[in-house]
Structures are given as C-alpha cells and as structure tokens.
Amino acid sequence: MKNIYVTQPYMPPLAEFLPYLEQIWENKWLTNGGPFHQELEKELTDYLGVEHIALFANGTLALVTALQSLRITGEVITTPFSFVASAHSLLWNGIKPVFVDIDPKTFNLDPEKIEAAITPHTTAILPVHVYGNPCDVYKIQKIADTYGLKVIYDAAHTFGVNYKGENLLRYGDLSILSFHATKVFTTFEGGAIICPDAKIKKRIDDLKNFGYAGEVSVVSTGINAKMNELQAAFGLLQLKHVDKAIERRREIDAQYREQLSSVLGIACPSLPADTTHNYSYFPILIQKEYPRSRDELNNKLRQHGIYARRYFYPLISEFPMYRGLPSAARENLPVARGVADKVLCLPIYPNLENESVERIVSIIKGN
C-alpha cells in the first residue's frame, strides 16, 4: 500500500504540459520575464482580482524582498506559530522579530496583544494567515494606522481566499504568496507579492533582478529572485485546474469533519465565517481526552504509511536563533505553545481518495 503524505500537488496529465515545454524550447527564452512569465502575471491578476502582482522564484525571497521594498528596519511584530521562513525573512534584513501570542480560535496573531509589544523601534507588523484563515485585518490595520506602522501579510496559504467579499490579498501594505509544491496553487517552487500600485511593483521588480532599473543602471542592492519560464508555464497549467482542485479539497474537509465529529479528544477547528476557503490544510487538535498523545498518534499513522505533519511545531521562537529574544520566552506565548503541542495536520490534496480518508480516520479511531 502506497504512502500518503500531508499534501501533494495536483499533477495534470503530462500531455497537457508538453506544448508549454515545446514553446519554451522554440522561444529560447528561459527566464528574465519571458512570455509565460508575463502571461502568468496577467492571468493571476485577473483570477485573484488584484491590480499588480510580482512573481518570484519562491515565497521566501518574496518575503525578504517585500521587507526591502518598504525599507523596514528596527523591530517587527510577528507570530511564533508559522513556518520558519516568516521570521527568517526578518533576520535576513537585519530586523529584530518581536513575537506575540496567537488567538486560540484562529491560531493567528492576537491583535489584543500587539499594542503591548510596540516600542519606539517598531516599524511594522508581519501577521500570517495561518492555514489560509483570515487574520483580524481590521483590528490590525487600526493599530497600524494609530502607530504609523506598515503591515506585511505572510499570505502563503491564502491563494483564492476571499474575506467578506474581498480578496484577502488586498489587505495591508503588501501580501506575499507561496507557490511551493505543497500549496493549493503551485509552480513547483515560486511565490508572489501583491502590489498596491505600479510604482511599488516597479521597485519590487527591480529588487528581484539584482537592483537593475535598466540595462546599465543599478539603483538598489537587489537579489536574483526571478521566476523562470518553466515555473510560469506550470503555473498557467495549474490555473486551469485550480478551481476543481479546491472543490475536491472542500469535499475531503467535509468528509474528515463528519467522520471525526464523534471521536472523543479530537477537535477539528471551525472554519471562520464570511470567508471563501481554499482548504489548504486540515489541522486537528489532540486533546487530553484522546487515549494517545499527539506524537503517539503521529507515530501510529506513520507506521501505516501516513505522513501527517505537526504544523507548526516547534514554535519559531524555540529555534536557537530566536530563543534568546525576550519576546520568545515561553511564558509570553502560552496559547501558541498549547496549540503547537496539540496540532496535527492530516493529509489533504486533490488526488486523495475517499477510501484513503476512511483509512486515516479508522486509524485515528483505533480500529
């Protein structure tokens, strides 16, 4: 019986990809804003309902560049409950992360804790829409406006998510997407920055291309973060299937919720209201009433070839490069610690069969 992983990309038939490869070979234009790159930018702005988008080789480079583009310095308030790239992007820019605890229902940065963490050195807030669930964007923006702070959203999980009728990517000064192979929409590796206007997009496009603003003019200390034509072509193909893929994820989410609803000690966090979801992950919380610990259940699933993931454990604040920060003290982050010790994300991806979901649920039930 084949192994089941927490997520896998949707892979269209190879025959659908071959014409794109042939066109790349014919164009002999492999990178540096080629035809497929330009086409994908246009298709994504239309699909996502945004004005400007800058494509990147990966989401981490997009985060690093977003902070550069807004000239963020000093301290930035962020969450300890995320993938480590969120905070790494700050260190790469010489910025001090300041960790704040999370909301127990959404697992996102708790806006009620933000103001107490603001100092004269604070310049921005870097929240994460965890599992694609919206942060409290209105409260966060109100705090940012009061203190003159920028807001950069790590929106790695939020492709296609709408909140109160508006695309979630339109909130804040910038939003950053990831198109990694584990994401709902993928370009193998890849990412993007949602830009509010043409001026900031031009600055971002310069920064991701070594700082070049023309053939012989370098205007900033940029980096090589460009998306190549192969990635862009795969993205164009993915975009044709993404709605169907999200619908299949919705079906799997509903199947898990129905079949796990009666299992004592297994909590399925509710989905936020007023949101069109993309079902990027399916987290469960292992409570004390369950007969096994989270790690014991995780090990049992692995014995059966099912590779769930403890997203996000350990907390970012517990890694060596962060644990010495005052804000990383464990007593400052009780909610985040509690969730990190209980969470387990179950497999969810378009090609996951109903029988596999039933097999996973059966193991959790102890059958």
**Is 215's pLDDT higher than 90?**
no
Domain count, the chain: 2
Q: What pLDDT is stored for residue 274 in this prediction?
A: 94
The pLDDT tens digits of the residues spanning 169-196 come to 999 999 999 999 999 999 999 999 999 9
> Residue 28 corresponds to which amino acid?
K
Looking up tokens 């987290």, which residue turns up? 283
Whether 228 and 261 share a structural domain? no
The pLDDT tens digits of the residues spanning 302-357 come to 999 999 999 999 999 999 999 999 999 999 999 999 999 999 999 999 999 999 99
Whether 61 and 141 share a structural domain? yes
Whether 224 and 246 share a structural domain? no
Give residue 104's domain range.
4-237
CA–CA distance, 12 with 14 (Å, rounded to integer): 6
DSSP 132-162: GPPP-HHHHHHHHHHHT-EEEEE-TT-TT-E
Q: What is the CATH number of the domain that holds 268?
A: 3.90.1150.10
Closest C-alpha among 236, 240, 233, 235 to residue 31: 233
CB 4 within 8 A of CB 305: yes
pTM: 0.97
**Is 367's pLDDT higher than 70?**
no
Whether 226 and 295 share a structural domain? no
Distances (CA, A) of 239 to 156, 215, 246, 343: 17, 33, 11, 31
- Predicted confidence band at 214 (pLDDT cuts at 50, 70, 90)? confident
Final residue belonging to a domain, choices 213, 237, 261: 237
Cis peptide leading into 104, omega within 30 of 0? no
